[in-house]
Structure 1
Amino acid sequence: METETVLPGKLKEIQEALENNNRNKAARLLTEQAKELPEETVHRLGLAQLAATIGETATTRFYATHAVAGDSSSNTALKAATLLADVGDYPNAIKMATRVVKTAKDFAPGWNVLGTLQAQQGNFAEAEESLKKAIFIQPKSAIHWLELATIHTFTPDDPLVRDILKLQNSMAATSPMNQGAYLYALSKVFFDLGETDQAWQATNTAATIMNQVSPYEKDRNNENVAGIIGAIQQNTFGQLKQSPDASNRAIFIFGNLRSGGCLVQRMLVGHPEVTAGDSTGLFSLAAASLNGISSQDLLEIQTKYENPWRDMAAAYYHMAKSRFGAEGRIVDRTMSQGRLAPIIHQAMPKAPLIWVRRNIEDTALSQFKTCFPSGGRWSFDQKNLGEHLALEEKLYEAIAPALGNALLTVNYEDMVANPEAERARIFAHCGLAASPEVVAPHEVQDNPVISSSVAALQKPIHANAIGNGARFSQQMEVFRQAYTAAKA
């Protein structure tokens, strides 16, 4: 669908603002457009989609709810629910998804979205029932199986094992994306059953398919990392204007995917002064005016704006307020924003920064076994995986000394071995006082987690995930060789 057919009124101005990386102007125009609410549902949904893309939670909610008010069809309501979830409005997203399945009981996508949202909330019994209904209606839609496998532990006498195995031949005739998702779900079944050889065969085949469908943009990633490391080495940040922002409301968590970021988030949200935490990507939106993150890019933006770092902080906290409300500390667990850590510190010098690290082989194994819903494309190939994680190590080794005391390094293994001591370190770094009201990570309520770790977070901290990389060293040999060569 062409954009021109979706957005009415201020379309041209909004498009020009986005083309010029002017997120703030686009947000203002979307708010102004709300005063002349278009009649057509497709227009309202289009505006909601655009608002979600630039991190405007309140505006997304406005257009999405008005879209459903004008058209109560299942497709419209489900689209609205998905957009609300995208901007962190999980309560209304669940209400909308529930509305969908009540009016369209045989609508499998509705049950899938509802089940996924329920799982993110930690309501696993409800989530399993919803996802089983989606599977019953659309057994060959692999996304239902993949979502269920994330929260379900398969056993030898589990009827679901029989059902998913019966699909192996027929799945070969479906799309590559569907085949890949199915094989990742199947590998989880085999891992749960202790059938390691079959699990690895399924994982490798799935990864090969997904690597072809969603190839990794290696050159672009290398360029980004080289740019920020170069800016640090050239002392570019010492040449930038000071940002007057003095807020410490946001706490940022960086690190590799599957390295323990969710556990740190839950530790922090367990403190009474911290009201919310999520993976938001909001700073990337706040910094949309940056054409890149090299030394040249950083110096160039200062010639265009009076103080771009101050503006980024203001844009970030505007979006954060729209998403989380005005009160309480918040946790931003956008792990991939690690390369933006020096820029975040430049814009918000008082914001606490945390980098989570984990044994590299355990991290690699966990990433390779995971079918990430978005991003993580390097994990579909062990050579790419090794080179990517080596690059991330070089990134950390450059950023950590540059940020000094502003950055706290936390090791996953230390959190598991001595969680109370590590939690105290984290609280102290974030300026959070000791409190008798602190809640253990697995007992935290109302903190949705979008991660394949969601089920593990509902259990007390354990050491089950430590040392798995060594157990599968033979299967991960290609990764190890690539990592060693790239790190040298």
Structure 2
Amino acid sequence: MTETSIEADADGPGSRLARAERLMAQKAYEPAHALCMEALAADPQAAGAWFLLGVLAADHDNPGKAAELFGKAASLDLDDPRAPAQLARCLIALNRRDEALTQAQVAAGRGPADALTLDTLGVVYSRAGLHDRAIGYFEAAFAREPRHASFAYNLAASRQFSGDFDGAETAYAQALALDPDLHRAWSSRVQLRRQTSEANFLPELEARFSAADSAEARLHLGHALAKTHEDLGDFAQALDWLIAAKAAKGRQVGYDPRADAELFAAAQATFPPGTAALGHRSDRPIFVVGLPRTGTTLVDRILSSHPQVASAGELTNFGLVLKRMTGSPGAFVLDETTLEAAGDLDLRKAGEAYLKSVEALVSGSGRFIDKMPLNFVYAGLIHRALPDARIICLRRHPMDACLSNFRQLFATGFSYYDYAYDLAHTGAYYGGFDRLVAHWRDVLPADRFTELAYEDLVADQEAETRRLLDFCGLDFDPRCLAFHENTAPVATASSVQVRSPIYATSIGRWRRYGPGLAPLRQALEAAGVQVED
């Protein structure tokens, strides 16, 4: 129902909904809610009222309730594409991917849509990993509302993931021209290309950082400044900016290292020595795990360049299967309680459920890669659920690995990486990771779990590629050496790097930062990690 149509009913529910929609846009939720309830009292079938109540629930971070309300609206008005589009967005947030894509198709089939609905569909397809499909919706949204900076930003990000870096640069520039305060566009634009002394944004970034009034803005702008100084060869300045960028956000999240220590201990307990793996027999999955920024995307691209292997992207499916089967309380999928309860599950059924959950992503019976770094926590449970699956764990020099995590601008809504706001916390987290991987090395079969050092892959790409293919039971294929020619989208922080051949310039990067990394080294040594110079 459009505003024009609801305004026409000046004394009825339509008038109330027109006012409610205006109030909702102003974040005046209480009077908007009251008007919606009045409209429903007059007409319980008023789809517009159900839709606006869905918007209210979504704005209050309640995607479950919002999905219910948008579903009601979508069933009452079979012409309006807005409700199924917003329903799809809620479902993707709830990790119900297949249902989300079904609703996105419903919305697309309802005919012409407004710019916000087109952008919403782009977001759904992007979060589902279908970036090639998302681009068309983002382009259409921005074409309809070319003064909307967020639409330009979404288009830029989708182009970047798809390897269209020139198109991404153009769209980031358009977003910032429309809204110079769009801080996430600054960090994304600077990451896209190497900054030079002749072409950089230092003066504007410094001014904006000084004026920034939120931890989120300082985080993005500070990362952009750090990346610029690193490109210019001033690593001490880069580190200073990283520390300044993360300080306020780190205080805000209040990370407690003990929580991850308990998580790692619970993970280790899921596979004590001598545990039998009696799960579902399938060798289709290849899990690529490890700390972020240690080569997981690179290995994914190498293996998925093989004609018999497809990349399913970074999936949360295995963890979600465990969460749903255990019924453990709490909002987090990965937590100590779920790990403890998962040990008592019928893990053969968990393996079957996982494979069923990925059918829409990897149709057929071929091999596929699940490249979720955090799955290193689940390695024992993965082997128990899918004893024929391969697990490849990436390793990297601890200083380089930790620095790369500290340098990374993780999604701030994803609390699993909150350790990376502080150098000492990052070192302590690495220590826990190192001990857990050592346990997996001791208890899991060598033909099902292997480790790969990033440095070894860079030093001898062909030998390590052959070893990985042999580990996975695959014949050598020369296309795996030309992984950078793979045109599939990449929606990770390595979306730029993996479009180029392997390079060694990031090895030993930590040495360039000098004494500023002393807190990191001390934390690693305190955690029992040997740091070799």
Q: TM-score, normalised by structure 2?
A: 0.79
Q: Label 1:411 to 1:34 Cα distance change in 2 as closer, same or farther (>3 A).
A: farther
**CA apart distance, 1:309:** 1.8
Q: Distance in 2 between matches of 1:49 and 1:34?
A: 15
1:421 aligned onto 2:460: no
Q: What is residue 49 of structure 1 aligned with on the other side? A: 89
Q: What is residue 134 of structure 1 aligned with on the other side? A: 175
Q: Distance in 2 between matches of 1:82 and 1:274?
A: 27
Aligned partner letter, 1:426 = L
- Find 1:259's aligned residue among 294, 301, 324: 294
1:6 aligned onto 2:44: no
**CA apart distance, 1:143:** 0.2
Contact 1:87-1:323 within 8 A present in 2 as well: no
Q: Deviations over 1:316-356 (max 9, x none)?
A: 22232212333532211100111101111111111111011
- Find 1:212's aligned residue among 243, 251, 254: 251
Q: CA RMSD in A?
A: 3.0
Q: What is residue 120 of structure 1 aligned with on the other side? A: 161
Equivalent residues in 2 for 1:288-307, closer than 5 Å: 288=323, 289-290=325-326, 291=328, 292=336, 297-301=341-345
Q: Distance in 2 between matches of 1:280 and 1:298?
A: 19
Contact 1:354-1:410 within 8 A present in 2 as well: yes
Higher relative contact order (CA 8 A, sep 6+): 1
Contact 1:57-1:88 within 8 A present in 2 as well: no
Q: What is residue 271 of structure 2 aligned with on the other side? A: 232
- Find 2:229's aligned residue among 186, 190, 195: 190
Q: Deviations over 1:157-209 (max 9, x none)?
A: 11544543453443x3x322112111111111111112333322211111112
- Find 2:379's aligned residue among 328, 341, 346: 341
1:309 aligned onto 2:347: yes
Q: Distance in 2 between matches of 1:402 and 1:33?
A: 50
Q: TM-score, normalised by structure 1?
A: 0.86
Q: Distance in 2 between matches of 1:274 and 1:300?
A: 32
Which secondary structure state, in structure 1, belongs to the residue aligned with residue 246 of structure 2? helix
- Find 2:195's aligned residue among 151, 154, 164: 154
Which secondary structure state, in structure 1, belongs to the residue aligned with residue 244 of structure 2? helix
- Find 1:431's aligned residue among 467, 473, 481: 473
Contact 1:161-1:189 within 8 A present in 2 as well: yes
Q: Distance in 2 between matches of 1:115 and 1:482?
A: 38
Which residues of structure 2 form unaligned runs of 5+?
1-28, 34-49, 56-62, 329-335
Which secondary structure state, in structure 1, belongs to the residue aligned with residue 270 of structure 2? helix
**CA apart distance, 1:84:** 1.6
- Find 1:221's aligned residue among 242, 256, 260: 260
- Find 1:321's aligned residue among 359, 382, 387: 359
Contact 1:246-1:350 within 8 A present in 2 as well: yes
**CA apart distance, 1:234:** 6.4
Contact 2:74-2:83 within 8 A present in 1 as well: no
Q: What is residue 462 of structure 1 aligned with on the other side? A: 503
Computing the radius of gyration from Cα coordinates, the structure with the larger value is 2
Q: Label 1:218 to 1:76 Cα distance change in 2 as closer, same or farther (>3 A).
A: farther
Q: Label 1:362 to 1:165 Cα distance change in 2 as closer, same or farther (>3 A).
A: same
Q: Distance in 1 between matches of 2:464 and 2:74?
A: 50
Q: What is residue 42 of structure 2 aligned with on the other side? A: none
Equivalent residues in 2 for 1:234-253, closer than 5 Å: 235=274, 237-238=275-276, 242-243=278-279, 245-253=280-288
Aligned partner letter, 1:382 = L
Which secondary structure state, in structure 2, belongs to the residue aligned with residue 252 of structure 1? strand
- Find 1:355's aligned residue among 393, 409, 417: 393
Which secondary structure state, in structure 1, belongs to the residue aligned with residue 358 of structure 2? helix
Contact 1:58-1:323 within 8 A present in 2 as well: no
Aligned partner letter, 1:297 = A
Contact 1:56-1:319 within 8 A present in 2 as well: no
Q: What is residue 280 of structure 1 aligned with on the other side? A: 315
Instruction: Give the stretch that moved more between structures: 225-234 or 358-367.
Output: 225-234
Q: Distance in 2 between matches of 1:216 and 1:42?
A: 38
Q: What is residue 383 of structure 1 aligned with on the other side? A: 424
Contact 1:177-1:213 within 8 A present in 2 as well: no
Aligned partner letter, 2:372 = T
Contact 2:289-2:374 within 8 A present in 1 as well: yes
Aligned partner letter, 2:341 = D
**CA apart distance, 1:451:** 2.3
Contact 1:37-1:44 within 8 A present in 2 as well: no
Q: What is residue 119 of structure 2 aligned with on the other side? A: 78
**CA apart distance, 1:398:** 0.7
Q: What is residue 482 of structure 1 aligned with on the other side? A: 523
**CA apart distance, 1:438:** 4.0
**CA apart distance, 1:70:** 6.7
Aligned partner letter, 1:362 = D
Instruction: Give the stretch that moved more between structures: 290-299 or 209-218.
Output: 290-299
Alignment coverage as a number of residue pairs? 458
Q: Label 1:319 to 1:300 Cα distance change in 2 as closer, same or farther (>3 A).
A: closer
- Find 1:202's aligned residue among 241, 264, 270: 241
Q: Distance in 1 between matches of 2:76 and 2:442?
A: 51
Which secondary structure state, in structure 2, belongs to the residue aligned with residue 322 of structure 1? coil
Aligned partner letter, 1:334 = M
Q: What is residue 371 of structure 1 aligned with on the other side? A: 409
Q: Label 1:131 to 1:104 Cα distance change in 2 as closer, same or farther (>3 A).
A: same
Percent identity over paired residues = 23
Equivalent residues in 2 for 1:57-96, closer than 5 Å: 57-67=97-107, 69=110, 72-96=113-137
Instruction: Give the stretch that moved more between structures: 151-160 or 474-483.
Output: 151-160
Contact 1:56-1:322 within 8 A present in 2 as well: no
Instruction: Give the stretch that moved more between structures: 437-446 or 117-126.
Output: 437-446
